[in-house]
Structure formats: C-alpha cells, structure tokens
Amino acid sequence: ETGVTQTPRHLVMGMTNKKSLKCEQHLGHNAMYWYKQSAKKPLELMFVYNFKEQTENNSVPSRFSPECPNSSHLFLHLHTLQPEDSALYLCASSHNRGYNEQFFGPGTRLTVL
Amino acid sequence: QKEVEQNSGPLSVPEGAIASLNCTYSDRGSQSFFWYRQYSGKSPELIMFIYSNGDKEDGRFTAQLNKASQYVSLLIRDSQPSDSATYLCAVNTEGFQKLVFGTGTRLLVSP
C-alpha cells in the first residue's frame, strides 16, 4: 500500500451514465494528480491540483470534471463518456516541492459500453 | 513534443543475471528522472529516482544518468522472477510537477 486509495476499483458504465471516481491520500502531500493509462500508450497526465487549486488541465474533454475539496481528497466526475475513454484511471500524490516523487493509488479500471 | 523513449521489449534475462533497461528523453531542461515498476493489472510503483549525473544505488537497483547524452538507465542485479514487470521511465519536464512517461519496457526473468 502506498498510502493512496482509490474507489471503485472497477467500474462499468453506459455512455449516458454519470459516475464519480474517488481518491484519498494519507501521506500528508499537498499535490494530487489524475492520470489515464490506455493500452500501448504512455501514462497521460490529465489534471494537477496544488493545495486544492487546479494548476494543470492537459486539454482534457469537459466530460471529465475534477474536484478537489481539500489536499487529501480528489474526485473525477464522469458524464456522457465514449467507449474510447475506457482505460485505467490513476490518482497520484506528491509534495509540491523537492523532486516531485509521485505515489500512485491502485487505479480504477473503467469500461464504457 | 517532449518525449521519453523506451524499448518496449520484452527483455528476457535468466535468473541471477543483470537486467539493463534504458530510456532516452528529448527535453534538455529535464531535472529529475524516475523509474517505476508496474506489474500486470497493478498501478506503477516508484522504485528509484535520480537527479545528478552518475550512478545511484539502492539494493539490487542502480540508476544511471547522463544528461549530456540525455539517457537514463536502470540496472537490476541478481534478477529474480519476481522482477518480471513493466518498467516505466518518467522525466520531470516543463516545470517540476509534470512527469512525462515512456511506454515502458517489459522485463521477463526466467527461472
């Protein structure tokens, strides 16, 4: 266990559904990240939050909506997704200083039907 | 486009051998470099990071960085079957919080 938890671990949703992914870190970090990992592709950074403020949006479609109520919790709200959005969604956290070692949660395996 | 390149493998080595994993990067301004291990169906696990030219050792793992040639490598000594995984190289670029990942090298260690 890295001290970063994610729920749910698996999610199947239809294209018209709305769902949310949750991430919580117990490491005392103040930066949190969402990544997408698709087969045969590098990890793609989606969003960065520092002290619960969004500091990076890597041109992510608006059907993905992040929320960070505090430095320990991060959500990714999903609506009207497409089948190509099926992937492993990973949350990570780090200190926002030093060398930026990022620690990942176990991920949510998302399937969009 | 800032890139991180890795050979996808698989790299096959016998148990007890040294596994050598390589990574090149395009951004000369990169400052810190990370190796993650990812088992099939699991999330990436940080195993080492390096920021100065030269070698950094941690147990059976040695990270090597050569900024002039823009490559970073990971050596695994006395490879074990449990080391079989995909190894991801990540580079800190465009500001210290943005990591750019390679596609990973799959390592297979045979008993």
Q: What is the pLDDT of residues A27-57, one digit of tens each?
A: 999 999 999 999 888 999 999 998 888 888 8
On the question of pLDDT at A8 being above 90, the answer is yes
Average pLDDT over residues A14-34: 95
Percent of chain A whose pLDDT exceeds 70: 99
Q: What is the pLDDT of residues B44-78, one digit of tens each?
A: 999 999 999 999 999 999 999 999 999 999 999 99
Residues B75, B68 contacting (CB under 8 angstroms): no
Q: Is B5 on the interface with A (CB under 8 A)?
A: no
Residue B96's region, left for phi above 0, alpha for psi from -120 to 50, else beta, is alpha
Q: Where are the beta strands (DSSP E) in chain A?
A: 4-7, 10-13, 18-25, 31-37, 44-50, 53-57, 64-70, 73-79, 87-94, 103-104, 108-112
Tokens of A101: 């070692």
Q: Is A72 on the interface with B (CB under 8 A)?
A: no
pLDDT at B94: 64
Please give the residue of chain B at the shortest CA–CA distance from A96.
B97
Tokens of A31: 């930066």
Q: Is the torsion defined by CA of B71, B75, B81, B83 positive or negative?
A: negative
A106, B42: Cβ pair inside 8 Å?
yes
- Identify the residue whose tokens are 């520092």: A50
Residues A49, A98 contacting (CB under 8 angstroms): no
On the question of pLDDT at B96 being above 70, the answer is no
Write out the H or E segment, with its range, that includes residue B100: strand B99-101
**Which residues 58-77 of chain B have a CB within 8 Å of chain A?**
none
The whole-angstrom separation of Cα B47 and Cα B44 is: 9
Residue A49 pairs with which residues in a beta bridge?
A32, A54
User: To the nearest whole number, what is the mean pLDDT of chain B?
Assistant: 94
pLDDT at B95: 65
